[in-house]
């Protein structure tokens, strides 16, 4: 192969990758229809049929239930809001412990704090990057109230096993399924196996409406509580009889009619959108499988990966060059990627300093869970040295560009000795 681009050669991917964009005529028409009828939000924070929103919101929730084969869908204005609502619905109270993975977006761990809950960080599996059930079991204490499993990058966690564990201990399992729509474990949709599942409709996700989220559940009571928390529940509590008042106060987490209309247009073609991303990810995996020093994304038996992100694991010792240098070399070839994903969450100042609400250490206390460096070694290794991430949901390469991306990986690996020597001499071109 020709000389590496980072050493003065020509890039393998000749043209910039197109941006992935699913917003088109259907979404435009859906918004215009809402504008024409003049009802931008159908919610009222008071008793009556409008407590559950307008026609677009209610239609979206019905269609979501049909698509994901679930009993209840409760729309919210973001997946972060959905996680907060889920914590409220299951009754998280000050001092309750909630087990969460150390490797995920911060909202997963922050959600319990909204009700005074305390996140307990547990390490992830080396292969799937999702919660390790054995480590979850070891982390359960008398204070544990719930487990939040994240279907990271679109691969399902061991949801059936985690649900069984939760049920056996009298705990709740909440799924953060922001990245895994249409992912499955043993034929069941991720986001529907836990007591509550939370989906994202953020602009960066497979299915998007700018900002938005959906909570799913099979439990009638949990659905009612999610609806209360979404829409100023204190105003309707008790109107229709006795109700559990815990955590039903004062939020506005409602979705607008325009947002719901866009989301409906997206889910009408969910299969084609998501399967298109899966095809690209699997084409990349097939093309570089067996490459020296690089492990492609793992797909556990009886699981369907949704591929929000396509994450490689690099063995720097085998390759002879650092992950940073590999990333720079691939970028020069026209293959965009980034290192690590997000840092282990216990490195965030709020956990390191044990200060979230007010200035007195609430809700952590002086004797709460450990947030020390070294807590989750697999997460730290993956983030710090091994993981190299390509955003399947950011780019829309043609079939020709997909092959060029594969070729770029092979080119960089085949020239790793020259890359190593240039790295050692400090002779790599500047970013």
Tell me if 309 sits within 8 A of 154, measured CB to CB.
yes
For the purposes of burial, counting CB atoms within 10 Å of the CB of 430, is it exposed (0-12), middle (13-18) or buried (19 or more)?
Answer: exposed
- pLDDT tens digits along 176-188: 999 999 999 999 9
Per residue in 264-294, pLDDT tens?
999 999 999 999 999 999 999 999 999 999 9
Contact 212, 76 (CB under 8 A): yes
pLDDT at 250 > cutoff 70: yes
The average pLDDT across 185-202 equals 98
Q: Where in the chain do CATH 3.90.1150.10 domains reside?
A: 5-19+270-342+377-425
pLDDT digits (tens, 9 = 90+) for 139-176: 999 999 999 999 999 999 999 999 999 999 999 999 99
431 — pLDDT class (breaks 50, 70, 90): low
pLDDT higher than threshold 80 for residue 90: yes
The pLDDT of residue 22? 94
Query: For all residues of the chain together, what is the average pLDDT?
Result: 95
CATH number for the domain whose boundaries are 25-269: 3.40.640.10
Domain with CATH 3.40.640.10 in the chain: 25-269
Could you confirm whether domain 5-19+270-342+377-425 is CATH 3.90.1150.10? yes
Q: What average pLDDT does the segment 196-204 reach?
A: 97
Per residue in 292-337, pLDDT tens?
Answer: 999 999 999 999 999 999 999 999 999 999 999 999 999 999 999 9
Which pLDDT does position 1 carry in this prediction? 62
In this predicted structure, the answer to whether residue 430 has a pLDDT above a threshold of 60 is no
């Amino acid at each position: 192969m020709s000389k590496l681009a980072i050493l003065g050669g020509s890039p393998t991917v000749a043209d910039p990758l197109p941006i992935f964009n699913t917003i088109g005529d259907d979404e435009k028409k859906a918004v215009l229809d809402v504008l024409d009828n003049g009802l931008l939000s159908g919610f009222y924070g008071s008793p009556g049929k409008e407590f559950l929103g307008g026609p677009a919101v209610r239609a979206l929730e019905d269609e979501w239930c049909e698509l994901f084969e679930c009993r209840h869908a409760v729309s919210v204005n973001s997946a972060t809001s959905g996680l907060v609502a889920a914590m409220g619905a299951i009754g998280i109270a000050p001092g309750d412990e909630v087990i969460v993975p150390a490797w995920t977006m911060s909202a997963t761990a922050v959600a319990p704090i909204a009700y005074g809950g305390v996140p307990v960080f547990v390490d992830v599996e080396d292969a799937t990057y999702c919660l390790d059930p054995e480590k979850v079991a070891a982390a359960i204490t008398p204070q544990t109230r719930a487990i939040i499993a994240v279907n990271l990058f679109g691969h399902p966690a061991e949801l059936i096993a985690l649900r069984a564990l939760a049920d056996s201990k009298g705990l709740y399992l909440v799924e953060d399924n922001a990245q895994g729509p249409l992912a499955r474990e043993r034929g069941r949709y991720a986001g529907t196996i836990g007591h509550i599942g939370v989906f994202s409709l953020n602009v960066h996700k497979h299915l998007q409406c700018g900002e938005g989220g959906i909570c799913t559940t099979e439990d009638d009571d949990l659905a009612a509580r999610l609806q209360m928390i979404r829409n100023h529940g204190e105003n309707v509590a008790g109107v229709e009889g006795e109700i559990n008042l815990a955590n039903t106060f004062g939020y506005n987490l409602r979705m607008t009619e325009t947002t719901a209309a866009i989301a409906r247009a997206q889910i009408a073609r969910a299969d084609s959108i998501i399967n298109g991303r899966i095809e690209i990810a699997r084409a990349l995996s097939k093309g570089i499988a067996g490459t020296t020093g690089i492990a492609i994304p793992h797909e556990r038996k009886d699981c369907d990966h949704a591929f929000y992100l396509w994450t490689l694991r690099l063995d720097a010792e085998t390759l002879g060059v650092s992950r940073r240098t590999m990333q720079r070399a691939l970028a020069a070839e026209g293959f965009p990627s980034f290192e690590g994903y997000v840092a282990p969450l216990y490195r965030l100042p709020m956990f390191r300093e044990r200060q979230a609400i007010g200035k007195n250490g609430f809700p952590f206390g002086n004797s709460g869970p450990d947030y020390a460096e070294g807590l989750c070694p697999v997460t730290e290794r993956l983030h710090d040295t091994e993981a190299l991430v390509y955003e399947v949901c950011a780019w829309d390469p043609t079939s020709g560009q997909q092959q060029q991306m594969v070729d770029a990986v092979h080119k960089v690996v085949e020239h790793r000795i020259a890359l190593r020597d240039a790295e050692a001499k400090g002779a790599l071109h500047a970013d």
